Structure 1
Amino acid sequence: MVTGSRRGRPYLPVGTLSISTSRSVSRIRTIRGCAAPGISLGRSSIGSSAWRRNILLVGNDVVDLHDSESRPGALHPRFDVRVFTPDEREALSASASAYPLRWTLWAAKESAYKVAKKLDPTVRFLPRDFVVGQIAEGRALVMHATGPFDVRLYRTDRWVSAVATLTVAHPSRTRGPFSAGRVSAGPTGAGLISTAVERLATHSADPSRTVREFARAALASRMNLPPWQVRIAADRGIPVAFWRDRRLPVDLSLSHHGRFVAWAASEAPATEPAA
């Protein structure tokens, strides 16, 4: 939930998030593939049209459901009104699992925002502008002026995580009510997506550094590269992966909250070089 820029939830009491580290791991993976030998590397910036064309942009978020700041009593009295649309609030009121649903909706909005920010650096995170129009079967559709976005949702009894990509086509690009239904997938063949959630158990490590180390090791392993030759830097606050001094053909998103860190990455198809 807290990104590398340390932007947290709005309307919460001022305070420092509880962050911890350990080797205990809770990991999820989606659409996997073999590392491609002979990958093409480039120096493209996130904002270039060639980069957006060849790489499936990705955004992620994680929420620690057991963190004290996630509890209803820690929220501003008008948190739901300021964050959720009337339809989303109605769904929360009708849900028997309103607590995890609240943070699932939040994670969907935040992950979509991270993709929107890559498309348009002027976009601000105004939660009600990111409208969850549909949610079903572990997926959500989030509507926004820069969208719509296809969001994959993951949940345990300890955390919720969301991974968003830009949806190229959908039957409706207008803002619709929160409802159950089918959610369209992202562009087929646009790239492989990997994601993981890691649990931390001590208070000694910097979560931003920890999540970058996890992501760096995973990317190096997938691409058959020495881990010490892979580094993650920031471009306008957005994480970017490099091999030596060359941009890797992946799009990367990082998040951390409470006891958990999470990363997500999409890879360009081996036949499509990064610009």
Structure 2
Amino acid sequence: MRWVGFSRLSPDASPSACTCVATASARGRPYLPAGTPSISISRSWSRFPIIRGCGARGTSLNRSSIDSSGWRRSTLLVGNDVVDLRDSESQPEALHSRFDARVFTAAEREALGVSAAPHVLRWTLWAAKESAYKIAKKLDPTVRFLWREFSTHPMGEGWLVVVHGPHSFDVRVSRTDEWVHSVATHSSARHCSSTHGSARHGSARQDWAPLRSAGSSVGAGVERLTRSDADPSSAVRKFARAAVGSRVECPPSQIWIAAERGIPVAFWRERRLSVDLSLSHHGRFVAWAYGDCVIPDDRRGFAAA
């Protein structure tokens, strides 16, 4: 989630980067409150194996270390955002009086005006915009998060489309009483036909059905931080490494996550994995999503580290 200092947001303020997350002790419910158009998500849960104890801080890469253009062409791009609905800075009384006018289109403000639960809808729309922005930034590093230029359009159960310029992004959204979580992909792929995940003690997993013809898939999850002083950046990388390691059937200790211009990238040892990552954190929670997690042909090095 991009955080903008909601209690201090002035009409001329520019957004600053931040991320946000959430926890789920039970199945995520449809995200739109009563009285608003239904765009709820329907999902069945199944266990998503996680290997614990593999946290590592991310490192930075210089621009020449990654063939970004080839990566963007061949990898399913994802973006995710999760909002802590109970965080003090997300409460209506903490927002600048012009927050909605600056962030939302006329149609979105109209929907907020008739919603029975505008607090939930507000952060649902925000999360959808933010997750789409993260992909737009990967496609074009010059893109800025000008909120109203990312317009949301309800499409069906648990599904919105966010439009920005020539691009449109599929966004799947779920929520609990404590959080809203969105995962976006580029609409040209036409994936995410169904969802699967698991709920267990303050966490949630979801694994979108793959593009069968292309072997592509999307996985995502949210976790509650276990300690108030925990480093969310380290925590989200730990969970992302565990999720990716489980997907490619290798120990998380052999996977490391670096950052290229603020965008996370995953490596198995010294070899870049064909996976796009999106990480976010806020308050009590961390969240991640990955796409196109392809198992390397040569897995002789996947022995336990």
- Structure 1 gaps, min length 5: 3-7, 36-42, 171-184
- Aligned: 1:134 with 2:123: no
Matched positions, count: 242
Match of 2:130 among 92, 101, 110: 110
Residue by residue over 1:216-240, the C-alpha shift from the partner in whole angstroms, topping out at 9 and shown as x without a partner, is: 1111121111211111110100000
Q: TM-score if structure 2 supplies the norm length?
A: 0.70
Which has more strand, going by share of residues?
Answer: 2
Q: Mapping of 1:7-156 within 5 angstroms?
A: 8-9=3-4, 11-13=6-8, 45=66, 47-48=68-69, 50-156=70-176
Q: Percent identity?
A: 57
Alignment root-mean-square deviation, CA = 3.5
| Residues 1:271 and 1:21: Cα distance change in structure 2 (over 3 Å) | closer
Instruction: Look up the match of 1:197.
Output: 222
Q: What is the CA distance between 1:46 and its match in structure 2?
A: 6.5
Mapping for residues 226-265 of structure 1, pairs under 5 Å: 226-265=251-290
Answer whether contact 1:166 1:186 (CA < 8 A) is retained: no
Structure 1 counterpart of 2:171, one-letter code = V
**For residues 122-175 of structure 1, what are the alpha-carbon distances to aligned partners after superposition, in whole Å with 9 as ceiling and x for unaligned?**
0011111100022431111000015100001011111000000111189xxxxx
Structure 1 outlier segments of 4+, above 6 Å? 19-22, 24-32, 185-188
Q: Which amino acid aligns with 2:4?
A: R
One of 167, 183, 186 as aligned partner of 2:187: 167
SS of the residue corresponding to residue 167 of structure 2 reads: coil
Aligned 8 A contact 2:172 2:183 in 1: yes
Equivalent position of 2:40 in the other structure: none
| Cα distance change on mapping 1:140 and 1:188 into 2, 3 Å | farther
Unmatched runs of 5 consecutive residues or more in structure 2? 10-17, 29-42, 50-63, 191-208, 298-305
Q: Partner letter of residue 140 of structure 2? A: D
Aligned CA distance change for structure 1 residues 164 and 27 (closer, same or farther; 3 Å)? same
CA separation of 1:237 and 1:56: change in aligned 2, threshold 3 A: same
Please say if residues 20 and 200 of structure 1, whose CA atoms lie closer than 8 Å, have aligned partners that are also in contact.
no
Q: Which residue identity is paired with 2:68?
A: G
Q: How far does residue 186 in structure 1 lie from its aligned partner after superposition?
A: 10
Q: Is the 8 A contact 1:152 1:163 kept in 2?
A: yes
Normalised TM-score (structure 1): 0.77
Q: CA deviation at 1:26?
A: 6.8
SS in structure 1 of the partner of residue 93 of structure 2: helix
Secondary structure at the counterpart of residue 248 of structure 1: strand
CA contact (8 A) 2:21 2:83 kept: no
